[in-house]
Chains A and B, each alone.
Chain A
Amino acid sequence: MSSVDSVAVPSRGAALPPRRVGAKWLIGFILPLGLALAWETAVALKWADGRLLPTPSRVIGTLVGLARTGELTAHVLATLQRVALGFGFGVTAGTVLGAVSGYWTLARRLIDPMLQALRNIPSIAWVPMFILWFGIFETSKVILIAVGVFFPIYLSLSGAILGVDRKLVEVGRIFRFSHREMITRILLPATLPAYVISLRSGLGLGWMFVVAAEFMGAEEGLGFLLVDGQQTGRPAVILASITAFAVLGKITDWLLASVSARFLTWQDSFKAAE
């Protein structure tokens, strides 16, 4: 009668074949490295002129030179600090307002229409206003970045809370969860995947807006380096700065993704098996 599943299950992961993670990962390098090598060869053989598009070796040389003098560190730190502050403020505001408007209907009716209207203004359009209000220095830059980060976080968190499956909430009701338990045990984990994605897209926007912010006048920062490279006619400096942006953006996104992945192992997405 009770033949219902008493078969022992092999201990987890025991039967998995060893995976060659390295090989999969390396595939992504083939295309960019190949292109870089091709350009390098083309310029070396004088098939092309590398003046407007410097070769990878010259860009790396410029980076090394900037690093030697300590300039690179100063620029990177200045930019990182702006992104960190702007991201921090944007995430905090987006999380608080997103949570409140997702959970509390009255608050949503109050704040959501206004925020939805503001959202349609391209954040860069605020720059003149911010400069008038907060001056040309750090405050206006950080605020511009924070505004850019705020919206994706606010929108997806409030949307995710509204979209939490009523059926799971009812399970909480059957077990007589308090408001706090409902939030910590159901709403928080249910919205976490969407929240993490919004953090990552917010961070991407943060990097985008820091460039805009540094264009509006800065003495240091990678964005300043861009402008400087253009004004002094040094494309290698521009590319060095772009490379630095790419590396920093990738590293910070990877950090965010790997920290959050620890909380999302339960996800049953179609990528989970990879």
Chain B
Amino acid sequence: MLSISNVDKRYPNGLLALAGLDLAVAEGEILAIVGGSGCGKSTLLRLISGLDTPTAGTVGLEGTPVRAPRPEIGLVFQEPRLMPWLTIDQNVAFGIRHLPVVEQKARVSETLARVGLASHVGHWPRELSGGQAQRVALARALVGRPKVLLLDEPFSALDALTRSDLQDHLLELWAYDRPTMILVTHDIEEALVLADRVVVMQPDPGRVRVEVTPPLARPRDRLDTEFLEWKYRLLGELDHASRRKTGDETFPAVAI
């Protein structure tokens, strides 16, 4: 459904952020992208969402190239980015502003209920906690029912408990429309809880190091031994990936 082929991205300052990146994502798949800071994860999401265009190569959605933002693609930024001058519900309605007002209202309150914030209609963004603001941002992306949902470290600013709550919650939300989901994260556990497939990226320039499809049953148990095994295997990969070209390739991947 989504195909990224041979994509390079060079920023105007000359920095090559992505080089020769290939990735195909199937409809309804949940893909996690992990990698160290600065390896081009956000850059990749910006290209897929159409906010930026690749320097070379193509990003295609259902056979047509993505050159500008499209209604079928939703993006949740690394920060909530709510408009401080709009109430929570008005912020969410941003995504469906072309619909008749009555329908907007219904869809907004339905979506806010889904993220557990139905009681916050009419509140201002400044009255929210970080996690609540992030959920409003999620609602804003979901309300237009995108076919592809891109999430850039949506839970990174949260404590471990709220975060695992929200991860479970995200899976419930996914079950409504089953959008294709691409989730960028620093957190291997998060990737393994949520994703069908995990892509590990490596920097300088950003590219795919390895892709794995862990055959773990759902719902996933964070303390299951098989889960932990995968967690350590991926940690090893990540460790390798972030070891810049020092020739230190003898470092063994941690295996249990």
Given contacts A1-B169, A4-B166, A176-B71, are A171 and B120 in contact (CB under 8 A)?
no
| Interchain CB contact under 8 A, B117 and A171 | no
The reply on A24 being an interface residue by CB < 8 A is no
Q: Which residues of chain B in 48-97 are interfacial with respect to chain A, using CB atoms and an 8 Å cutoff? A: 49, 51, 68-71, 74-75, 77, 79, 81, 83-86, 94-95, 97
Chain A 184-208 interface mask (CB, 8 Å, partner B; 1/0): 0110011010000000000000000
Number of interface residues of B (CB under 8 A): 36
CB distance from B197 to the nearest CB of A (A): 24
Determine the distance from Cα of A141 to Cα of B159 in the docked complex, in whole angstroms.
63
Q: Which residues of chain A in 5-63 are interfacial with respect to chain B, using CB atoms and an 8 Å cutoff? A: 5-9, 12
| Interchain CB contact under 8 A, A6 and B79 | no
Q: Which residues of chain B in 111-167 are interfacial with respect to chain A, using CB atoms and an 8 Å cutoff? A: 115-117, 119-120, 122-126, 132, 135, 162, 165-166
Determine the distance from Cα of A9 to Cα of B169 in the docked complex, in whole angstroms.
21
Given contacts A167-B79, A268-B126, are A5 and B116 in contact (CB under 8 A)?
yes
**Set A175, A186, A190, A192: member contacting B95, Cβ < 8 A:** A175
Residues of the B chain whose Cβ atoms lie less than 8 Å from the Cβ of A175: 69, 94-95, 97
| Interchain CB contact under 8 A, B83 and A267 | no
| Interchain CB contact under 8 A, A168 and B83 | yes
Determine the distance from Cα of A174 to Cα of B75 in the docked complex, in whole angstroms.
7
**Set B51, B84, B85, B135: member contacting A174, Cβ < 8 A:** B51
| Interchain CB contact under 8 A, A12 and B122 | yes
**Set A6, A176, A181, A268: member contacting B84, Cβ < 8 A:** A268
CB distance from B23 to the nearest CB of A (A): 21
Determine the distance from Cα of A69 to Cα of B166 in the docked complex, in whole angstroms.
75
The reply on B189 being an interface residue by CB < 8 A is no
Residues of the A chain whose Cβ atoms lie less than 8 Å from the Cβ of B126: 266, 268, 272
CB distance from A199 to the nearest CB of B (A): 18
Residues of the A chain whose Cβ atoms lie less than 8 Å from the Cβ of B77: 167, 170-171
**Set A8, A171, A268: member contacting B94, Cβ < 8 A:** A171
Q: Which residues of chain A in 222-274 are interfacial with respect to chain B, using CB atoms and an 8 Å cutoff? A: 266-268, 272
CB distance from B66 to the nearest CB of A (A): 12
Closest B residue to A171 by CB, please name it. Answer: B81
Residues of the B chain whose Cβ atoms lie less than 8 Å from the Cβ of A181: 97
The reply on A2 being an interface residue by CB < 8 A is yes
Residues of the B chain whose Cβ atoms lie less than 8 Å from the Cβ of A190: 85
Residues in B lying within 8 Å of A, measured CB to CB = 49, 51, 68-71, 74-75, 77, 79, 81, 83-86, 94-95, 97, 115-117, 119-120, 122-126, 132, 135, 162, 165-166, 168-169, 172
With A2-B168, A174-B69 already in contact, 20 other A-B pairs whose C-beta atoms are closer than 8 Å: A1-B168, A1-B172, A4-B115, A4-B135, A5-B116, A5-B117, A6-B116, A8-B119, A9-B120, A12-B123, A167-B81, A168-B83, A171-B83, A173-B69, A175-B69, A175-B95, A181-B97, A185-B83, A266-B124, A272-B126
By Cβ-Cβ distance, the 8 closest A-B pairs, closest first, are A268-B126, A189-B85, A4-B116, A266-B85, A5-B116, A9-B119, A1-B168, A174-B69
